[in-house]
Structure 1
């Protein structure tokens, strides 16, 4: 494919690191190194870079006016105007607009792309209606679906990260949906990162280590891990930060809270543990499961959303019934109590993600851009 001019509009970006930010960074790096011209538009925030550098390649970052989310200041909400987005598009003349988890900023960008006649691909990545319900505003859930439906149905192609998420958004009226999963850096997340020195620090009495990685927020249901606290010879390792940290520390005094970690430091912690557990029931994908599997850990998660596609039940890990915490505990006991079985699960887990590299996923995304351009051309030729 010829070099493409790609405008990535990211609803969430640096310095706040989450699944949306990580996906944007990984695909942008692949595109830049392949010679494609990329610009990123994102909510402005203290510490946001003006550009990204990948070897000799530079990717400009264009911050737009934003406000901190009430009660969660790390998350920024766009307050920019449609005129500002149109001017960015007019200055760059992109071949395609990529909307990463569109909401307020993505809404403005989708309207601008339609006005300028540019094909658009949107990535559905966060269950915002589910978050609305989880945070005590179920009356707004349908309004959120209407808002997202309007954004996504302006786009030529919508990409869901899992079959469960695809089915969910199609049921709510979002059209032209295909599946695009996520890659994993298997050179960074690997069993070779395991550190016996770190294990001795985390498990001074030889405990088995169960690790969770993610935000410490209500939608992740991290408090469900408390059912594992009383297990003998087991220690929880909780990696992440968020508004519930103090509450979780109180509920799980025996756990090790590592704070936010990334890169090699995160990879070392994960690889040095024995089992990965994720408790959130609103995951559209769950990238941390892939990273744990690449690190040689079996994974346990609710049978809900993205994990259904990632975990091969009874082969690479276990899927427990949402809300059935005794079932979660039983699965943890099953794998921690049998080193041989856990080893077989671990090997299968690592093999299952071996081919899911970011360059492969970026090439797939370029294919979706090509398809969006064809659909756009056909629609306007009719």
Structure 2
């Protein structure tokens, strides 16, 4: 089956979507699919990853609020690329304008919208919920809900990676919602990668010895990730026990995060770790993973940390919340730094942390379910892919 993923959120400079795309390209041939990632970029190029996997870009404008991303600005150019690729199935992976462009191309070709973003949680709820109720916010953003409901009618499936997001979409009247949980790269993330020397090295970077607790955070440095809140909470909790926080990431919020760290020698901001095996070792060598964003549609890094056998301290809303279900005390009230301090202090001492492998869905299973659903849709039916 020839699949084209019209992927407005792809950036070669990283992020969860890039990780997801990389895994999709790697698995395409083995699963009998032909995959083209069609993404916006500075120029038209094609990068082949194998006989059945490639990234093709369309010259497009830069996204003004984050210039490591682009957006599709020319519907005719997008349609011309789809005409040439002639897919059997099309994905769109942005809830903004591009899925309407995709829906306008050959309505008889089956299509799925992948919810790689949750703008209501990332923006509207984050900005306004301290002032008014979520119900009031939803009423004020009725036009956006109308847009989502329109996409639900236009697409054969609206794919969410967590039950949290699926439930909200269904409650909002969005049709054709299907949950297909994501997963982690098989055999990569494991407690067996724990490295005491690496742990000691990271703690030393934070000015601490091995008796301290090592926390790790990772991901795109953007306001919705709430990194300054993590810094604040670790600083406060650090008055009661020795804590080091190693943050791995890059993005437009880096200066804000550095200002929030200030002179705290126990919190360090590092460049992203591009070597996936080393990143897996970093996660396994930490004493806990810390995350601040309640707007995740899945939260790949929380899944990877959970598969690495370490506790995950995550908000109680959004896709990341799924990974604290077995440790309720490590989920904290979203956007509440005081409750985050409580969760951090609920961790056992580092001497008591004994990471062990946990069963986390493999990405192979995610793509097998997703492609199986696509196959059924091309034959005229919708399977429940869970």
TM-score band (shorter)?
0.7 to 0.9
Shift of 1:136: 5.3
The equivalent position to 1:251 in structure 2, one of 235, 260, 267, is: 260
1:339-358: CA deviations, max 9, x gaps?
44x43xx43xx3231xx112
Q: Aligned pair 1:44/2:41, yes or no?
A: yes
Q: 2:63 aligns with which of 39, 54, 69?
A: 69
Once the two structures are superposed, what CA deviation does each residue of 1:34-92 show, in whole Å capped at 9, x if it has no partner? 3322222111147x9622425xx3523221232222231112111122x2233223222
Q: Are 1:122 and 2:95 an aligned pair?
A: no
| Equivalent residues of 1:10, 1:106 under 8 A apart | no
Are the aligned partners of 1:20 and 1:101 in contact in 2 as well (CA < 8 Å)?
A: no
Question: CA separation in 1, counterparts of 2:292 and 2:149?
Answer: 28
Measured after TM superposition, the shift of residue 135 of structure 1 is: 7.6
**TM-score when normalising by structure 1:** 0.86
The answer to whether the 8 Å contact 1:157/1:368 transfers is: no
Which residue in 2 is equivalent to 1:211?
A: 216
Report the secondary structure of 1:335's partner residue.
Answer: coil
Which structure 1 residue ranges, 5 or more long, are not aligned? Answer: 378-382
Deviates more, 1:270-279 or 1:91-100: 91-100
Distance 1:17 1:145, change over 3 A: farther
Unpaired segments ≥5 residues, structure 2: 129-136
Residues 1:8 and 2:5 are matched in the alignment:
yes
Q: Is the 8 A contact 1:11 1:43 kept in 2?
A: yes
Aligned length: 360
Q: Which of 81, 86, 98 pairs up with 1:93?
A: 86
Q: 2:147 is matched with which residue?
A: 147
Structure 2 CA distance, aligned partners of 1:87 and 1:191? 47
User: Under a length normalisation based on structure 2, what TM-score does the superposition of the two structures give?
Assistant: 0.85
| 1:237 counterpart residue number | 246
Deviations 1:77-134 (CA, angstroms, capped at 9, x unpaired): 11122x22332232222111122234333321122141xx100111112112333326
Aligned mate of 1:227, from 219, 225, 233: 233
Contact 2:28 2:52 in 1 (8 A): no
1:288 corresponds in structure 2 to: 301
CA RMSD of aligned residues (A): 2.5
SS in 1 for 2:49: strand
Distance 1:363 1:50, change over 3 A: same
Other-structure match for 1:192: 192
Give distance in 2, aligned partners of 1:287 and 1:152.
25
